[in-house]
Amino acid sequence: MSIFSQKVYDAVRRIPKGEVASYKEVAEMAGYPGAFRAVGTVLSKNTDLTVPCHRVIRADGRVGGYQGGRGGGEEIKRARLEEEGVEGVL
């Protein structure tokens, strides 16, 4: 695993339950401002269930893609966020 990927995973693990962060915010948290597309690429390949990828959304408030370690899609991502009390995600 690359250092970048590890820093992205560590940043995502710091997003509290019931909260979300944008791909851009995760890039900044990981120390790579501007690398938000690369964050999306890393998270799209994640299979580690300890990384709560469902808490990362697009800057426009849409959920964006989601694999969830086993596949999934936007509806599952939205449902996981709603289970955590997140409201208003498109």
The residue annotated as part of the active site, out of 30, 42, 53, 63, is 53
Report the chain's C-alpha Rg in angstroms.
12
Write the pLDDT tens digit of every residue in 45-86.
988 989 999 999 999 999 887 776 556 788 888 999 999 999
What phi-psi label fits residue 9: left (phi over 0), alpha (psi between -120 and 50 degrees) or beta? alpha
Fold of 3-83: Arc Repressor Mutant, subunit A (1.10.10)
DSSP codes of every residue in 42-75: HHHT---TTS-GGGEE-TTS------TTT---HH
Domain boundaries, the chain: 3-83
Express each pLDDT in 26-53 by its tens digit.
999 999 999 999 999 999 998 898 999 9
What band does 90 get if pLDDT is binned at 50, 70 and 90? confident
Say what the pLDDT of residue 52 is.
95
53 is catalytic: yes
